[in-house]
Amino acid sequence: MNQRSTWQKTQLICWIVRFMCNFFQACGPSFIRSMRRSCEFSTLFDLKTEEATDTATLDYIIQSAGSSISDSTVIAESTSSEDLTISMTAYGIDISSSNAFMARSFDAYGDVLDAAFKSCMDPNVGLVKSIEVVPWVNNVQFQNIAKLDRSLETGTAEQSRMLSPFLRRFNLITNAEHVGRLAEVLRHRMTTFGMVMKCLAAANAFPHLDNNRELLDKYHTCPLNRSTPCPAYTGQMTLFDLKEALRGIDSSGKYLIERMADNINDYIEHYMTPCLTDMTSEAFGVVGGNMQSQHWIRMDGCLEVSCVFVGVKWDPSTNKCVADAPEDNLDYTVDRFCAPKFSTGRP
């Protein structure tokens, strides 16, 4: 009975660990457990009166400001609302019911305060000031599902090896962060690849007559469609320059897009796949248990630390990751000039 129970527990852990890499790739290594929000409501009363002795409105304002929201104060009959302007400023408040924040009288202003107070009490309303990010491993439900409160043991009774729950959680945290970094590197490459293709298509859509026109630089102060050309500056580009950079034909005749696609495939084939394969390999009799028993830096497939940074590619000649060539690293250029717009009108 005990052997059967142990076998069932092992099979359950095998099933859980098998999908951990997919889980961390989709959800990331951490989650937001809590956040602090804030909201503020302030009012400026602008009172204009020619009678120095008429202080009924002023007394009412002072009394209202010092009272609680639920208190009611009766305004003097001599007060004229035409002499008073109420300016309200707020942030982090739900204004889905916009009529609740319109005060055309003192009674209506009291309703506005009540509405603002109730809005600030809503936990889903307010500007986010800070967040608490914690690893999934610290989540009680995740620990319960992954059975992280148990030790893993392998070997014979005379010579056995045990993996404590603490080491399981520690390795899982560090390896989950590594999986997240790999996913981020790949996501960045895929995003850049798509942006280059869209930008090249947009640039090619312009007629050849526009090739010598200067493009608008998002990070330059030259205004759009001015009558005279922008003053010359370093890094200025024409439409033709952008087309040539995005085509990026090298000495072998390969286009930039081809090289980018090859770099993505090489990164997946030579680093990402071997690394994830090592993580999901068997350890302690558990399929995928290696993710909990070893740090990624000790796995042969994950050993190349240079591959965890954005802007690198796999170099087959050295079996390492190296920085992209300057002509292939167009992130900043695409960010500045895409989608292409002209800085001056057509001559």
Tens digit of pLDDT per residue, the chain (347 long)? 344 444 444 444 444 445 566 677 677 778 888 888 888 888 877 767 666 545 565 666 666 554 444 444 444 444 445 566 777 888 888 777 656 677 776 667 777 888 888 888 888 888 888 888 888 777 777 777 667 777 777 655 555 677 777 888 888 888 888 888 888 888 888 899 999 999 999 999 998 888 888 888 887 766 555 555 565 555 678 889 889 989 888 888 889 989 889 898 999 889 988 888 888 887 777 666 788 888 898 888 888 888 888 888 888 888 888 888 877 788 888 888 888 888 765 54
* pLDDT for residue 8: 45
DSSP state of 343: S
The answer to whether the beta carbons of residues 105 and 51 sit under 8 Å apart is no
Q: Which helix (H) or strand (E) holds 219?
A: none
On the 0-12 / 13-18 / 19+ scale of CB atoms within 10 A, 236 is middle
Q: What distance in Å separates the CA atoms of residue 114 and residue 66, rounded to the nearest whole number?
A: 15
The CA-atom distances, in angstroms, between 212 and each of 25, 133, 201, 234, 249 are 45, 50, 18, 17, 20
* pLDDT for residue 2: 42
282-317 burial: b if 16+ Cβ within 10 Å, else e: ebbebbbbbbbbbebeebebbebeebbeeebbbeee
Q: Which helix (H) or strand (E) holds 19?
A: none
* pLDDT for residue 324: 85
What is the full DSSP assignment across 105-146?
A: SHHHHHHHHHHHHHHHT-TT-SEEEEEEEEEGGG-HHHHHHH
Whether residue 115 has a cis bond before it, omega within 30° of 0: no
* pLDDT for residue 19: 59
Q: What distance in Å separates the CA atoms of residue 292 and residue 152, rounded to the nearest whole number?
A: 10
Angle at 229 between CA 223 and CA 235, to 5 degrees: 80
State pTM to two decimals: 0.63
* pLDDT for residue 309: 87
Query: How many C-alpha atoms does 108 have within 13 Å on its Cβ side?
Result: 10
